[in-house]
Amino acid sequence: MSRIGKKLITLPEKTEIKVSDGFVMVKGPLGELSRKLHPVIEVRVEGNTVTLAPKEETLESKALWGTYASHITNMVSGVNKPFEKKLILEGIGYKSEVKGDKIIFALGFSHPVEVEIPKTLKVTAEKNNITISGSNKEEVGSFTAKLRALKKPEPYKGKGMRYADEVIRRKQGKKSV
């Protein structure tokens, strides 16, 4: 039995959820999100609570039960309060700026690196702090990871792009005799 799947999902006010044709749609003050449901999971909406249950007791349905409960919980919280991730760019000469629908980096390469910003996300860059926010938790996380992968932090001086709450374990440099 899934502990996460058994929990009731309560809907805040001004939030609607609709289940039809194998899709679940959540509508709130910040927009609308939808996701395709797996056929082994059943979603029931009663008033302002949502419950999930597997249609049959199989190993796959037990695994997907908690997964879809987490997805729907994230969708409900995303349409009410946007998810936010922060990146810190450290290093001499490393810069970032947002121009229109692109974010442009100077990362020590011979050319500037341009990355297209998805339409559903809002990106701000001031000094060397980059903030990515949006209502879809998966999209925010994957775009942030894509940006971080451009220049991962190195262990000797800590130069590169890191999450705001990430701690870089430093290595000791060369010792002189």
pTM over 0.85: yes
Chosen CATH of 3-78 out of 3.40.50.11310, 3.40.50.720, 1.20.120.1200, 3.90.930.12: 3.90.930.12
Domain edges within the chain:
3-78, 83-163
Q: Kindly report the backbone phi and psi dihedral angles of residue 88, in degrees, each rounded to the nearest multiple of 5, phi listed first.
A: -120, 130
Residue 162: closest CA among 124, 128, 138, 133: 128
Model pLDDT for residues 116-167, shown as the tens digit of each residue:
999 999 999 998 999 999 999 999 999 999 999 999 999 999 899 999 999 9
Which H or E run contains 136?
none
In terms of CATH architecture, what is 83-163? Alpha-Beta Complex (3.90)
- Domain 3-78 and domain 83-163 have a common topology: yes
Give the pLDDT band (50/70/90) at residue 1.
Answer: low
Nearest residue to 128 via CA among 156, 155, 101, 153: 153
Contact predicate 45/52, CB 8 Å = no
* Closest alpha carbon to 105 in 118, 123, 119, 93: 93
* Residue 115 amino acid letter: V
- Chain position carrying tokens 């949502």: 50
Quote the CA–CA distance of 19 and 99 in Å, as a whole number.
39
